[in-house]
Amino acid sequence: MDILQTVFLAILVAFLGFSPPGMINMTALKISLEHHRQHALLFILGASSVIFVQALIAVTFAKFLANNPQVIEYLTYAAIAIFFLLAWFSTGRRGRRCNFS
């Protein structure tokens, strides 16, 4: 029951995030104006199902990380290594010029 309550809370927060005019809402409006309203409803149903699956994955992953703090430590080390690699690659290309011809 606890995970179901958390999933519904995540869906509510996701709905509030998608309520202002954005890419998905404008696409649904465009489909509704250019085609029939049925096509827009099918698009909205598909987008909502994707949001539901994303919320379920996020809640499951968050609970996994809450139960396994050792994984968070490994992820921290991996993030530090990735940032050092990104810094190394970005400083190594500073002196070179790009030739687009």
Q: What percent of the chain has pLDDT over 90?
A: 22
| Mean pLDDT computed over 35-62 | 85
pLDDT digits 0-9 by tens, 11-35: 788 777 766 667 777 787 788 888 8
CA dihedral (60, 66, 69, 74) positive or negative: positive
Residue 98 has pLDDT above 90, yes or no: no
Q: What is the mean pLDDT of residues 25-53?
A: 82
pLDDT, position 83: 95
Q: pTM higher than 0.95, yes or no?
A: no
In a 13 Å sphere around the CA of 23, the CA atoms on its Cβ side amount to 1
Token pair 């890419």 is at which residue? 23
Give the least confident one: 20-29, 36-45, 49-58, 73-82. 20-29
**Helix residue ranges per DSSP H, the chain:** 2-18, 23-34, 37-67, 69-92
